[in-house]
Amino acid sequence: MSTPKQIQLSHGGGGREMAELIGKLFFEAFDNQILRQEEDAACLNMTGPIAFTTDSFVVSPLFFKGGNIGKLAIAGTVNDLAMMGAAPQYLSCGFIIEEGFEIAKLKEIVETMAAELHKSGAKIVCGDTKVVPKGCADGVFINTSGVGRIIKPGISVHSVRPGDAIILSRDIGCHGAAILAAREGLELETELQSDCATLWPMVEQLIAANLELHAMRDATRGGIAAVLNEWAKAANVGIELSEEVIPVRDEVRGVCELYGFEPWDLANEGTFVIALPQEIAADAITVMHQFCNCDQARIVGTVTDTNAGKVILHSPWGSKRYLELPAGELLPRIC
């Protein structure tokens, strides 16, 4: 019998086919000592405070310019740990695969994940695979959870305080715009790539520079508008941004013009914001500028004790307005 090219329900059945899939595909790509033990649970040696996070990835389309769902699943969870000042160490990985999904595509996703893991040094130490009948999932869904040792304690939304500078690591909206462009029905052609990236290397250097980081967060769904609103509410401070200095590339502007979106509402997957004392902002930016992913890092705003709970955007036209938490589906505006 020849090996099937598509995922069969039997691949999730717990029998021979599943063992083969796991052995040939997952173990080979994610190989490490802990995973190889094949116990019911991974045994880890950890001391001190740890950060623990989980995220599920259901992106459509699965493959896009600048990455695929696998890259997102690793970078996303690793970044959540990094943003808490934790070195990403161990990840779990659960796949929910739709019957009929091409094994070649799955292989590509898994290999991308393995490559992305190398960027932080984190390891996948346990996993799970389920196959659901055709139509019950959209290709493949991935869940990753991760733990990491907290190297820099005290990074927290509650530590954002008046007088802090807000640093943005790069131009915004690339992931959201790239996904939209790739979406069926839009048929847009663009060179635009998702910003999807592992952020630990930059964070590691920021920590090594011994800078007083108050808060850090990657601006994923809801964009920088969501993150900064969360900070303003959680820390009960005001945040003032200058529209002029927030970098947005032309293609992202183009997608926004076409559909009436705002770049601050669009998702990012490798872009983060930092709140830290104004006087050390320049030092942080110097560290960030060593990385090509952050060569546009800059101060985009400040934290104030007025307008608590609100984010205010100052426009180059001299006007100001509230930057709201994005709400509702991201639907094109026609009018």
Partner 1 sequence: MPELQLKQLYDGFRDPRTVAELASQIKQLAAKLDEPVNVMEVCGGHTHTIMKYGLLQLLPDNIEFIHGPGCPVCIMPKERIDQAAALAQIPDVILVTLGDMIRVPGSEGSLAQFRAKGCDIRPIYMPLDALKIAQENPDKTVVYFAIGFETSTPMTAVLLEQAEKLGIPNLLFHINHVLVPPAIDAVMADPDTRVNAFIGPSHVSVITGSQIYQPTVDNYHTPVVVSGFEPVDVMQSILSIVKQKVEGRCALENQYERAVSYKGNEAAQQKVNHFFTVRPSFRWRGLGPIPNSALMLKPEYRHRDAELKYGERLPVKEIDDHKACQCGDILRGKAKPQDCKVFGRGCTPQTPLGSCMVSSEGACNAYYRYAGVK
Partner 2 sequence: MCLSIPSQVVELHPEIQSVTVDTLGVKRTVSCHLMEEPLAVGDYVLIHIGFVMNKIDAASAAESLALYKEIVDKMEAADA
Rounded Cα distance between 177 and 114, Å, is 26
Q: Which two tokens stand for residue 102?
A: 């091409």
What angle do the packed helices 281-288 and 200-208 form, to 10 degrees?
A: 140
**308, interface contact from partner 1, partner 2, none, CB < 5-8 Å by kind:** none
Answer for which of 221, 233, 249, 320 binds partner 1 (CB under 8 A) is: 320
312 binds partner 1 (CB under 8 A): yes
Answer for which of 1, 45, 185, 189 binds partner 1 (CB under 8 A) is: 185
Q: In whole angstroms, how close is the CB of 63 to partner 2 at the nearest point?
A: 19
Answer for which of 119, 149, 253, 314 binds partner 2 (CB under 8 A) is: 253
8 Å CB contact between 225 and 301: no
Rounded Cα distance between 310 and 275, Å, is 15
Tell me whether strands 320-322 and 164-168 are parallel, antiparallel or unpaired: unpaired
Among 175, 260, 187, 167, smallest CA distance to 222 is for: 175
Rounded Cα distance between 55 and 141, Å, is 11
34 binds partner 2 (CB under 8 A): no
8 Å CB contact between 324 and 228: no
DSSP per-residue string spanning 265-300: GS--SS-EEEEEEGGGHHHHHHHHTTSGGGTT-EEE
**181, interface contact from partner 2, partner 1, none, CB < 5-8 Å by kind:** partner 2
With respect to partner 2, which residue has the nearer C-beta, 212 or 262?
A: 262
Q: How far apart are the first and last CA of the chain?
A: 58
With respect to partner 1, which residue has the nearer C-beta, 292 or 334?
A: 334
With respect to partner 1, which residue has the nearer C-beta, 181 or 215?
A: 181
181 binds partner 2 (CB under 8 A): yes
> Under rule CB under 8 A, how many of the chain's residues touch partner 2?
20
136 binds partner 2 (CB under 8 A): no
**191, interface contact from partner 2, partner 1, none, CB < 5-8 Å by kind:** partner 2
Q: Which two tokens stand for residue 25?
A: 């595909």
With respect to partner 1, which residue has the nearer C-beta, 132 or 188?
A: 188
- CB atoms under 10 Å from CB of 175, counted, come to 30
With respect to partner 2, which residue has the nearer C-beta, 184 or 250?
A: 250
With respect to partner 2, which residue has the nearer C-beta, 199 or 255?
A: 255
Determine whether 292 is exposed, middle or buried from the number of CB atoms within 10 Å of its CB (0-12, 13-18, 19+). exposed
Q: Which stretch binds partner 1 (CB under 8 A): 146-154, 156-164, 170-178, 311-319?
A: 311-319
189 binds partner 2 (CB under 8 A): yes
Q: In whole angstroms, how close is the CB of 181 to partner 1 at the nearest point?
A: 12
Q: Binding residues for partner 1, per CB under 8 A?
A: 185-186, 250, 253, 257, 259-260, 306-307, 312, 315-322, 324, 327-329, 331-335
Q: Binding residues for partner 2, per CB under 8 A?
A: 181, 186-192, 250-251, 253-255, 257-260, 333-335
